[in-house]
Structures are given as structure tokens and as C-alpha cells.
């Protein structure tokens, strides 16, 4: 009978899985759990919160000392008003220092991030089904994915608060080591991609979304010049303008209360910020952005599948809410606000182009009649 050494270290269990499957529903608690805690907005809010607390305490102490030494004087009115304003701002910022409160504000503008979540992480990318659409994220798209013990944060666009919150509870058996290894595979493939027109993991996309026999294929490059006059840019510009006016007001009140250093600092900051705010407003009214991407896909009598760069989606054609035939370009708008562009030279023949335009027209007409 072989002897067993009780002091021998146990052999480590190696998890060599090449995929992680998930099947659940993304809830607000999942989004909050993966909300970035060290992002720029959170840092600025905490710095501002700290400054307001410090200044509120200092000004309140100054008022108390003045009352004890000299009693009430009308010169204390501006200081008292400023103290109340800063305390009010402090109380208002308290809620933004908590992840749960911040996440509710973000989700109010992004309700689509809460959905069915079914799919898997593989070495070639991420397949994600939201209950209606089949999404695919390729390696180039996933290089900024964040992996932690809490789960996986998958960004869906350039907005740092638009991400799929795949927490550990949603996986069959979550392993941060496996997830980190998969992420490294994505980064390696993205770094070694040589042809921008052929994204890494294209075979996985094709296998996930096989083209039906009656579908029309398209492939090509889209270049779009768009104005910067968007609600997001306008919102940022307005907030910056209000902040500048607030700092000027604080500066005037401080100078009136003989707190010259605080007043000069506030006004100097406002003038510095005014330069960048003016540039923001100029971008909003006159600026443009040029975007170009490679795309491929197909459109059938019932579905549209399109891969833009290394992110793809397949959806029922009934989601097409409107279309615009620009002659050489077909603009397809979904009922949720998404927009896709297919150029005439992306398809093989005039007959295919005509069939595609007529198909979109029929779908839109049918959906309008059924409402």
C-alpha cells in the first residue's frame, strides 16, 4: 500500500477553460457594482466635495468667532450667504459620492443597459443576446474591457458609462483568472491585426450569424461627416457655463467680505474655465466630426445583420422604424434610435440594391399600418 505524505502541498487546480457562459438579466445592482470608482467624474466630484466641506467649516468658524468677539454686524451677511450656499452644495453632492445614487442617474439616460444577458466569452470575442438582438464584440472592440473579481465590464461605445455589467453571479462558474486570460487573448489578437477591413474573430461572427439563401450581402467602407450639435455636447457646455457663473458669484461675494484671496482665486478659475467653455460652444455650433468604418453584413426578408468594425448586431427587420433613400446611400433608422448606412457600391448589383430599398419600404409601411 503506497504511503501518502500528509505534509505534501496539494496540487493546484488549473482552470483551462476557453470560454465563460452567462445567462441572466442585467439589473441596476449589477450596473452599480461595476460602476467605475476612479473615473475622472468621480474624482472631480470627490475633490469638489472635499473643498466645499473644508470651506464650509472655515467660513462657519469665522462667523462664530466674529459673533463671539464683536457681535452681529452687517458685514457678516455675505459670509453667511456664502456659507449657506456652500453647505447646500455639499449636501447636494453627498448623493453623487455613492455608487448606487450615481448609477441611478446614469441608468435614467441609458435604460437599454438593463436587459436579458445571454451568451459567452470566448477567445474570439463575446456573443451577447439581449432578448431581441444578437450582438457580437470582436477582439479589437474589447481591448478596454475591465475584468475584476466583481465581474466583467464591457463597454458598448465611447461613453464610459455605457457598458454591459456582467457580474460574477450571471456566469455558470465565474473565474477571474479565466476572464483575464480571455481578455489577454483579445488584446494579443487586436495588436497583431494587419487588415483593418477584416476584423479579428470574423469567423466567429460569421458562424454566429450565417447568411440565409435569400439574403443580400453588402461590404464596404462608410465615411460620415457629422455636426457636433448633439444633446451631450450642449449639456456639458451648459453645465460648464453655470459653474463659471457660480465661481464668479463666489468671487464677488468673497471680495465684498474682504476675503480677497478666495475671491481672486475663484475669479481666476472662472476666467480660465471660460476659455475652454467658449471652445465647447464653438464646437457645438460650428464643429464637425468625421467618422469612417468598415462594415459587412446581409439583409433578408426578416433580419438585418451588420458588422461595423469589430462590433456586430443581428436584429429583426421589424425594428426598422424608418429609412431614407439618398440615391447612393440607404439610411436605415431603428425604432430605438440607432442608424445604419449602406452604400450602393456595397452590394453586388442594381437588382440587389432595388430589392433592398423595396424591402425596407415594405417593412416600414407594414409596421406603420400595424400601429
What was the pLDDT predicted at 68?
Answer: 74
Nearest CA among 294, 295, 296 for reference residue 216: 296
Please give the residue that has the higher pLDDT: either 115 or 229.
115
* Predicted pLDDT at 1: 46
Q: What average pLDDT does range 66-89 have in this prediction?
A: 72
Per-residue pLDDT at 315: 92
Alpha-carbon distance 371 to 366, whole Å?
9
Cα(12)–Cα(251) distance, rounded to whole angstroms? 63
Mean pLDDT calculated for residue range 11-23: 80
**What pLDDT sits at residue 147?**
96
pTM: 0.70
What's the rounded Cα separation, in Å, for the pair 192 and 251?
A: 54
* Residue pLDDT, tens place only, 312-364: 999 998 888 888 888 888 888 887 778 888 889 899 899 999 888 888 887 77
Whether residue 4 is predicted with pLDDT greater than 80 in this model: the reply is no
Phi-psi region of 309 (alpha: psi -120 to 50; beta: other; left: phi over 0): left
Residues 6+ apart with CB under 8 A from 102: 32, 35, 42, 96
Check if the beta carbon of residue 51 is closer than 8 Å to that of residue 90. no
Q: Give the span between the Cα atoms of 92 and 94, in whole angstroms.
A: 6
Q: Which three cell numbers stand for residue 213?
A: 439563401
| Predicted pLDDT at 44 | 59
Going by C-alpha positions, the residue among 158, 140, 327 that lies closest to residue 233 is 158
* Tens digit of each residue's pLDDT (9 = 90 or more) over 126-184: 999 999 999 999 999 999 999 999 999 999 988 888 999 999 999 999 999 999 999 99
Q: Is 24 helix (H, G, I), strand (E, B) or coil?
A: strand
Residue with cell 482552470: 15
Q: Which of 283, 166, 144, 183 is nearest to 226 (CA)?
A: 283
Helix axes 260-286, 231-256, angle to 10 degrees: 160
* Range of 152-156, 225-229, 250-254 with top mean pLDDT: 152-156
**What mean pLDDT comes out for the span 207-213?**
91
- Measured from the Cβ of residue 361, the count of other Cβ atoms closer than 10 Å reads 13
C-alpha dist (Å) from residue 94 to 20, 53, 106: 38, 11, 16
Amino acid at each position: 500500500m503506497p504511503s501518502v505524505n500528509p505534509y505534501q502541498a496539494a496540487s493546484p487546480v488549473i482552470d483551462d477553460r476557453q470560454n465563460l457562459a452567462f445567462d441572466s438579466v442585467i439589473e441596476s445592482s449589477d450596473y452599480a457594482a461595476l460602476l467605475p470608482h476612479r473615473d475622472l467624474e468621480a474624482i472631480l466630484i470627490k475633490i469638489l466635495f472635499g473643498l466645499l466641506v473644508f470651506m464650509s467649516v472655515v467660513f462657519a468658524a469665522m462667523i462664530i468667532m466674529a459673533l463671539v468677539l464683536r457681535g452681529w454686524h452687517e458685514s457678516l451677511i455675505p459670509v453667511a450667504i456664502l456659507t449657506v450656499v456652500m453647505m447646500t452644495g455639499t449636501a447636494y453632492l453627498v448623493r453623487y459620492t455613492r455608487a448606487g445614487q450615481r448609477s441611478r442617474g446614469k441608468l435614467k439616460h441609458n435604460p437599454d443597459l438593463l436587459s436579458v444577458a445571454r451568451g459567452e466569452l470566448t477567445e474570439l470575442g463575446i456573443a451577447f443576446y439581449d432578448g431581441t438582438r444578437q450582438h457580437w464584440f470582436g477582439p479589437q472592440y474589447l481591448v478596454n474591457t475591465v475584468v475584476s473579481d466583481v465581474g466583467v465590464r464591457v463597454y458598448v461605445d465611447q461613453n464610459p458609462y455605457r457598458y454591459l455589467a456582467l457580474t460574477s453571479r450571471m456566469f455558470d462558474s465565474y473565474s477571474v483568472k479565466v476572464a483575464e486570460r480571455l481578455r489577454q487573448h483579445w488584446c494579443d489578437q487586436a495588436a497583431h491585426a494587419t487588415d483593418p477591413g477584416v476584423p479579428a474573430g470574423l469567423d466567429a461572427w460569421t458562424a454566429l450569424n450565417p447568411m440565409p439563401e435569400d439574403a443580400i450581402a453588402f461590404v464596404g467602407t462608410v465615411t460620415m461627416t457629422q455636426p457636433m450639435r448633439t444633446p451631450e455636447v450642449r449639456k456639458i457646455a451648459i453645465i460648464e457655463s453655470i459653474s463659471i457663473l457660480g465661481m464668479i458669484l463666489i468671487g464677488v461675494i468673497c471680495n465684498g467680505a474682504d476675503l480677497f484671496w478666495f475671491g481672486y482665486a475663484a475669479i481666476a478659475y472662472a476666467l480660465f474655465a471660460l476659455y475652454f467653455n467658449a471652445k465647447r460652444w464653438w464646437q457645438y455650433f460650428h464643429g464637425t466630426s468625421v467618422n469612417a468604418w468598415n462594415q459587412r453584413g446581409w439583409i433578408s426578408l426578416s433580419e438585418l445583420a451588420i458588422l461595423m468594425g469589430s462590433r456586430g448586431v443581428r436584429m429583426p427587420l421589424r425594428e426598422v422604424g424608418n429609412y431614407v433613400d439618398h440615391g447612393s446611400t440607404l439610411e436605415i433608422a431603428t425604432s430605438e434610435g440607432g442608424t445604419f448606412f449602406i452604400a450602393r457600391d456595397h452590394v453586388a448589383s442594381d437588382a440587389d440594391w432595388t430589392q433592398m430599398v423595396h424591402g425596407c419600404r415594405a417593412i416600414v409601411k407594414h409596421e406603420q399600418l400595424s400601429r
